[in-house]
Structure 1
Amino acid sequence: MGTALDNGIKPYNHYGAYLKDKYNGQKVFKVIVDGNFTCPNRDGSKGYGGCTYCNVDSFTPDTARKIPSIREQVENGIARARTNYGAEKFIIYFQPNTNTYAPTHLLKMMYDEALSIDPDNVLGLSVGTRPDCLDFEKIALLESYTDRYDVDLEMGMESIYDDTLNRINRGCSHDEFLSTMKMLQNTPLELCVHTIFGFPWETEEMMLRYADEINKQANIKYVKLHHLHIVEGSIMGAKFKKEPFKLFSIEEYTDFLAKFIPLLRPDIIIQRVFGIADQDLLIAPNWGLKKSAIQTYIDKGLEARGVKQGTLYSF
């Protein structure tokens, strides 16, 4: 018979299973689009250099960044997903940098163009951004697509502590995140929150409190849980090379997730349980495994520890 995991049942509310159930077993794939955006803490609006953990590609002049057009990216992404993964339906995912950091009329042109390609098979729009780069006008634009598409708005919360946000040059306070969540209180948008675990000055107890803060926000539908990794081209990477600091091993991170996931509200869907970086950019921690092997290791570790999402959630 095998374990629940052997039968495709994970010890948490898993995004892949959610999509499969929602779309009647069809293979749904996210197609990443780079809209050539920047961020307010890169261009001087709030600061320079970007978040300290980020690979700051904005140091490269725009004229040297040969990004294909939105149409080319979507067409090529859909073709690859069909060929390599047998994908049938697609979600257009504006991922790199801050994808609401432009005038609303320009955002509409970009989103419209991306969604116009293969309209019979595009089911949704996913937009990654920062809490301080949203306003009622941009929210209204995103909401205008919800009569035709599932629209997922992904925001980087990263940490719930302003001390951490200041240390990593985030340029955005936790209060700004909470204020944006209030603006989105009655939205039809599907809200996703991104967190990073493992900043060396945050204790395990501090990190476990993220769950309480997420649980309080009734309109959060998805979360992405990432561990801190150090990459080339980042401010943190340069500091790490001079003075290395403690990072999660894969076993330690699995132990942490085994404590965190039971605290998380059981209706929340977990899109990711770990972060990834290109091997040619990754400095640490290098767990020596490919993405699928990391996923398997963590899932098996959680199952072996008897983890179930929400068992320690307090209403």
Structure 2
Amino acid sequence: MSTPLDFGHKNYNHYGAYLKKKYDGQRVYKIIADGGFTCPNRDGSKGYGGCTYCNVDSFTPELSRRLPTIREQIEQGMERAIKNYRAEKFIVYFQPNTNTYSPTHYLKMMYDEALSINTENIVGLSVGTRPDCIDPEKIDLLESYSDRFDVDLEMGMESIYDDTLLKINRGCTHQELENALILADKRKIDICVHTIFGFPWETQDMMLKYAHEINRFPQIKFVKLHHLHIVKGSIMGSRFAKEPFKLFTIDEYTDFLAEFIPLLRPDIVLQRIFGLSDYELLIAPNWGMKKSQIQSYIDKGLESRGVVQGSKYIPEIISVL
């Protein structure tokens, strides 16, 4: 017997459906651009070595890492998306490292170059960064593109607990995320935050409270939900090799999402519900599936559990910290 999922209908607001509706059924794909940025947690401004879970190469496809210029990255990324996925429109996505960690005039030069390539078919600009690398001038710059493109600012929340942020050498506090969200409030840009679930010292109850914290900021339109994975070249990877700790199995993670997603505001769009690095960099957990297979497995698990986004949303909860 067929289910709604067989026809692409999910009981949560997923990004694919959002893009399809917004762009009248056209196939829209993100094209990753690496601007060669570093991070204040790597260059000594706030620390060295970066966040303990991070190897920046694990978040960027290998082909993008090999390309020397923004133009080549975007042009070749578009060619691959057209050939492999019949893409019609594109969102330029500055992803690796901290993509607002530079003077505003330099950022403008780089964003302008990226958005000048095949302009007719570019519909959006997405910029990934840290909340402590946002200021009013950079918000103004991003908003200046909003009359021509959809603009979203993606910031790593990771955890809502300062104790966790300290343990993972994040180099910023949850209050700094709140400050950035306040700066972006009522501006013509969309906000995405991403989380990491599964730090061994956080309980399930602690992780479920992330939903309530996200809910209280109406300017958050998108979220990316990641499970903790251990990658080669990271500080956490070295520690894990010496003292392994418990990580989510795919069934445990599906069970967790089945509890988490109903708590989220029903209007929030889930851009991603799990994270996955290149397998040559992945240490654990290795679920033995391709990305599409993981997506299908989790979606089927959520459907079988009767998960509906927002079904347990409680508007009265304004703070959990």
TM over 0.5: yes
- Residue-by-residue CA offset, 1:235-273 (whole Å, 9 max, x unaligned): 000000000000000000000000000000000000000
Counterpart of 2:5 in structure 1 is 5
- Residue-by-residue CA offset, 1:250-300 (whole Å, 9 max, x unaligned): 000000000000000000000000001110000000000000000000000
Residues 1:117 and 2:95 are matched in the alignment: no
Counterpart of 1:142, as a letter, is L
Residues 1:142 and 2:145 are matched in the alignment: no
- Residue-by-residue CA offset, 1:201-243 (whole Å, 9 max, x unaligned): 0000000000000000011000000000000000000000000
Answer yes or no: is the 8 Å Cα contact 2:124–2:151 preserved in 1.
yes
Counterpart of 1:30, as a letter, is K
Residues 1:165 and 2:162 are matched in the alignment: no
Residues 1:79 and 2:79 are matched in the alignment: yes
Query: Mind listing any 5+ residue stretches in structure 1 that lack a counterpart?
Result: 58-64
Answer yes or no: is the 8 Å Cα contact 1:52–1:168 preserved in 2.
yes
Residues 1:236 and 2:236 are matched in the alignment: yes
Q: CA deviation at 1:56?
A: 5.3
d(CA) in 1 for partners of 2:119, 2:174:
37
d(CA) in 2 for partners of 1:123, 1:56:
26
d(CA) in 2 for partners of 1:23, 1:259:
31
Counterpart of 1:210 in structure 2 is 210
- Residue-by-residue CA offset, 1:131-158 (whole Å, 9 max, x unaligned): 0001000110000000000001100000
1:42-191 mapped onto 2 (5 Å cutoff): 42-55=42-55, 67-191=67-191
d(CA) in 1 for partners of 2:18, 2:161:
31
Answer yes or no: is the 8 Å Cα contact 2:56–2:97 preserved in 1.
no
Counterpart of 1:301 in structure 2 is 301
Query: What secondary structure, in the 3-state scheme, does the structure 2 residue paired with 1:91 have?
Result: strand
d(CA) in 1 for partners of 2:244, 2:40:
29
d(CA) in 1 for partners of 2:110, 2:204:
41
d(CA) in 2 for partners of 1:251, 1:66:
35
Counterpart of 2:153, as a letter, is L
Residues 1:270 and 2:251 are matched in the alignment: no
Query: What secondary structure, in the 3-state scheme, does the structure 2 residue paired with 1:157 have?
Result: strand
d(CA) in 1 for partners of 2:28, 2:181:
28
Query: What secondary structure, in the 3-state scheme, does the structure 2 residue paired with 1:160 have?
Result: coil
Counterpart of 2:319 in structure 1 is none
Counterpart of 2:87, as a letter, is A
- Residue-by-residue CA offset, 1:67-103 (whole Å, 9 max, x unaligned): 4111111111111110111000000000000000000
d(CA) in 2 for partners of 1:198, 1:100:
28
Answer yes or no: is the 8 Å Cα contact 2:56–2:96 preserved in 1.
no
d(CA) in 2 for partners of 1:255, 1:134:
35
d(CA) in 2 for partners of 1:99, 1:246:
32
- The sequence identity of aligned pairs, in percent, is 72
Query: What secondary structure, in the 3-state scheme, does the structure 2 residue paired with 1:78 have?
Result: helix
Counterpart of 2:60 in structure 1 is none
Answer yes or no: is the 8 Å Cα contact 1:49–1:56 preserved in 2.
no
d(CA) in 2 for partners of 1:177, 1:114:
27
Counterpart of 2:278, as a letter, is D
Query: What secondary structure, in the 3-state scheme, does the structure 2 residue paired with 1:155 have?
Result: strand
Residues 1:33 and 2:30 are matched in the alignment: no
d(CA) in 1 for partners of 2:168, 2:187:
30
Counterpart of 1:153, as a letter, is L
Query: What secondary structure, in the 3-state scheme, does the structure 1 residue paired with 2:5 have?
Result: coil
Give the alignment's TM-score, normalised by structure 2. Answer: 0.95
Answer yes or no: is the 8 Å Cα contact 1:91–1:123 preserved in 2.
yes
Q: CA deviation at 1:180?
A: 1.1
Answer yes or no: is the 8 Å Cα contact 1:20–1:26 preserved in 2.
yes
Q: CA deviation at 1:188?
A: 1.0
Query: Mind listing any 5+ residue stretches in structure 2 that lack a counterpart?
Result: 58-64, 316-321
Counterpart of 2:132, as a letter, is D
Residues 1:15 and 2:10 are matched in the alignment: no
Answer yes or no: is the 8 Å Cα contact 1:36–1:67 preserved in 2.
no
Answer yes or no: is the 8 Å Cα contact 1:127–1:152 preserved in 2.
yes
Counterpart of 1:223 in structure 2 is 223
d(CA) in 1 for partners of 2:232, 2:314:
40
Counterpart of 2:224, as a letter, is K
Q: Deviation above 2 Å: which 4+ runs of structure 1?
A: none
Counterpart of 1:289 in structure 2 is 289
Q: CA deviation at 1:66?
A: 5.9
Query: What secondary structure, in the 3-state scheme, does the structure 2 residue paired with 1:225 have?
Result: strand
| Cα pair distance change 1:294/1:305, threshold 3 Å | same
Residues 1:195 and 2:195 are matched in the alignment: yes
Counterpart of 1:272, as a letter, is R
